[in-house]
Chain A
């Protein structure tokens, strides 16, 4: 019974959210692009006539044409279908990183918030801060190099999560520290609610907007990071990803040789992807701002 009720409430929340969000041009643009990418990546890619991972299936270095909308590479791959696979893999990577990072962040952030200003809490806070300021790229490069034999999407995702959790955890900690002192938390305690319930029902509604924002930003970040790793040749070589495409394109001096579409495609896609996720996330954060949400709820109740 309660499950049905909460699914129902969730549906209403989602409808309400979209009503607000679709009013914004930025959101609509970003969301549409993402939908297109999702379609390309997950719906279209299984139907690729040429397996993009294999070389030599098509004529090399062909410019844009109807048969090859984004041209072909020096390795004999169709760039368009290569991109559909890359998009799919980027999304998968992004989701892996974001999920693990947020999971770790929730654990560390809530723990730090719960322990508060006690010595143990300060210790956890120091750990969080350290991970926030460690320069990420050098460490990632080393790790990727060391583990290069085993690299696959999931492993890269996990490696990225080693750093991805820090900033969300820090935010979560400060949210918890703030909400802890608020009167309604004390009402909850006096109503006999336990810590778990308090985290779920008192803290989470405030933390959720931030966590969702962070989730999207982590997807963005991981895609960008993977591309960067690819430039160094340290991305997973087995899959078709944005990073590896860039790597091979650079390796074969695509730009110098005039095969610009090989490099331009992944770069354009990364840029579009990042911008769209950014637009979606800022619209979402505006909507999820507690004050906005509450005034939406209020408006609805009055009609």
Chain B
């Protein structure tokens, strides 16, 4: 499988005033292959949403790129999308890659009927000669996403949360992009709609064979829907491994804690919490950012930056206990 996205040493900071930055994404590199479903996990403030913004070249002030490239492999050519101008980027958007932002279902234009929303989306990103072509695309995606045609005449407010999110997924997939990015696609949805949307995303992926990136804090949905998971903490990647391996045996202590803290029906253990909170991203500490909360930390952990090391062919960890 060829690599579709390569991100190199990304440093994306939020500029809060003249000299101070929030180092939301601090030296992150990753690569994703075609047809892969990758989850980016972490708690609030870890930088995963910012990373997503960078990966889709949606970097607007106060967010600034200090360093780094995001290379898309399009038709054999490697293009750094961060250096593209707006027009070129718009050409790529929705046809080569699309994204579903957080709370997308609440940003559907409330005064447009669903049909209009679809037609506008299509024509904004693709030259459509006749209306019939567009209608065919809509019919096609409605079938794939299990949406009833009668919804075309509805207003978004008439649909339930789960249905609205299906519409959002349909909008993101209608031009059959090879890369789809989602930020918390099931937040605000109840359990049943959540399951429905995740299963939909997986089914669509099987059919369209696209690469899917899922950003979420919910390890449960990532366990269900992803092939590989990237764990972030305080602006850095701490572990990246196939989903099965991460759950079977998490290497990084933070990953371990994250997984073991999940309450599960049938699990009668009393979970012990590791205290403290993630460090400030304005003045992050030297060395491993998790060390102050880590049960295994030693003095070496606080000295210098801990690199992300390949410990197995498909597994990377940033921890002194592994690899280095």
Contact = CB atoms under 8 A, between A and B. Distances in A.
Q: Quick check: do A and B touch in the complex, using CB within 8 A?
A: yes
Interface of B: 16-17, 20
Contacts of B20: 302
Chain B binding surface, main DSSP class: strand
5 contacts: A299-B17, A302-B16, A302-B17, A302-B20, A303-B17
Contacts of A303: 17
Nearest to A298: B16
Contacts of A302: 16-17, 20
Nearest to B20: A302
**What is the predominant secondary structure among interface residues of chain A facing chain B?**
helix
A148 B40 CA distance: 78
Interface of A: 299, 302-303
Contacts of B17: 299, 302-303
B300 to A, nearest CB: 34
A69 B174 CA distance: 74
B110 to A, nearest CB: 20
Nearest to B16: A302
Contacts of B16: 302
A299 B17 CA distance: 9
B13 to A, nearest CB: 15
Contacts of A299: 17
A154 B20 CA distance: 56
B224 to A, nearest CB: 33
Nearest to B18: A303
A302 B22 CA distance: 12
B10 to A, nearest CB: 25
A302 B16 CA distance: 9
A303 B19 CA distance: 11
A106 B114 CA distance: 44
Nearest to A299: B17
B180 to A, nearest CB: 33
Nearest to B282: A302
B281 to A, nearest CB: 14
A303 B17 CA distance: 9
A299 B16 CA distance: 9
A299 to B, nearest CB: 8
Which 5 A-B pairs rank lowest in CB-CB distance, beginning with the nearest? A302-B16, A303-B17, A302-B17, A299-B17, A302-B20
A114 B20 CA distance: 46
B303 to A, nearest CB: 30
B233 to A, nearest CB: 24
B24 to A, nearest CB: 16
A147 to B, nearest CB: 51
A109 to B, nearest CB: 30
A298 to B, nearest CB: 10
